[in-house]
Amino acid sequence: MARAHAPSPELGAHLTTLYDRFPFQRSFRADPIAQIRSYCTDRRHAEVAALYGATLAVGNTTAIRGSIRHLVELAGGDLVRVVRDRGRPDPWRGFRHRWIRGDQMTYLARRLHAIYDSYASLEEVFLEGMENGGFASGIDSLARAARGPNGGRDAPRGYRALFPSPLDPQHSPAKRMTLYVRWMVRNRFPDVGIWNRIPMGELRIPLDQHVFWIAYHLGLTQRRTRSWATVEEVTAALRRIDPVDPVRFDFVLCHTGISGDCPKRRDIDVCGPCAVRPDCRMWRPVPGAS
C-alpha cells in the first residue's frame, strides 16, 4: 500500500510561486473561458453562454472552443434569442461535439426558457438549493432545473447525463457544473464573476483529470478516484491555504497539466524549475535511499 503523502508546510508558498510565475495569457487563449467572455454582453448572455460552454467542456480545449464557436454561429450569434424562442426552429440539427448532440442543445434551450419564466437568474436557482443544504445542494438544484420534469426522462437520449449532481447515488464530482459556478462567481481573472450573492470562499474545485492527478501527487487528497468526496477534500486543503479564494489555483493546476508543464512522470528537464516539485509525491525522498 502506498504511503500517505500529506502536503508539506511550504505547499502554500510553493503554489503561490507557481501561480505568480504562470503564463496566464498563453493558457487563457487556449481555455474555453476566453470564448465565453466574448459573448458576455450582459448578465443573461453570460449565464446562457457559460452554461452551454460548460456543458460542452468535454475533451481537449481546442475542440471545445471550436464547438462553442460553431454552436453560436448556428444560433445566428445569439444564444439568448434561441432560448427566448424555445429552440424553434431547431438551429442545431446535425451539431455534434464528442457524444453531445444538437437535439440535446435544443432541449437545453427549452429548459432555460422554462427556468427564466420562473427565476430572474440561474443564480437564484443555485441559491435556492444552497440555502437548503450547502454548495452540493446548489449544484443539485442547477442540475435538476436543467434536467427538467421527471428528472430528464422525457429529454433526448443521453441528455440527463450532461447534468450530474453530487447528490446522485454516484456522488459525481460534477466537474462541468462546478466549473460553471466558478466562472459565474469568481470575480478575478480569468473568470466572469457576474454572480455576487455567493462568497468565493464557498466555491469547490472543478475536478478534471489534470487537477485530480496533480492534487493527488501534491497530497491535497489521499483518494484514488474522483468523486464529490474528493472534491470536498481537495477544496478543504486549498481553503487552508487561501480561505477567501480557495479555487484560485484551479486554472493554473489545470493548464499545468494540459500544457505539458507537468509531464506526469519524473523528468528533471521539465520538472526541475517547477515551484511545487519539492511537494510532489513523485519527487519525495525514498526512505533508506542514499
**pLDDT of 172-183, one tens digit each?**
999 999 999 999
Predicted TM-score (pTM) of the model is 0.95
pLDDT at 3: 62
CATH architecture classification, 1-30+204-284: Orthogonal Bundle (1.10)
Question: What one-character-per-residue DSSP string does the chain give?
Answer: -PPP-PPPTTHHHHHHHHHHH--HHHHHHHSHHHHHHTT-SSHHHHHHHHHHHHHT--S-HHHHHHHHHHHHHHTTT-HHHHHHTTT-S-TTTT-EETTEEHHHHHHHHHHHHHHHHH-S-HHHHHHHHHHHH-HHHHHHHHHHHHH-GGGGTTSPTT-GGGS--TTSTT----HHHHHHHHHHH--STTS-----SS-GGG------HHHHHHHHHTTS---SS-SHHHHHHHHHHHHHH-SS-TTTTHHHHHHHHHTTSS-SS--HHHHTT-TTGGG-GGGSPPTT--
**pLDDT of 213-268, one tens digit each?**
999 999 999 999 999 999 999 999 999 999 999 999 999 999 999 999 999 999 99
Average pLDDT, consecutive stretches of 10 residues, N- to C-terminus, the chain (290 residues): 75 97 94 93 96 96 96 96 93 96 97 97 98 96 95 91 96 98 97 97 97 96 96 97 97 95 93 95 66
pLDDT at 286: 54
pLDDT at 150: 84
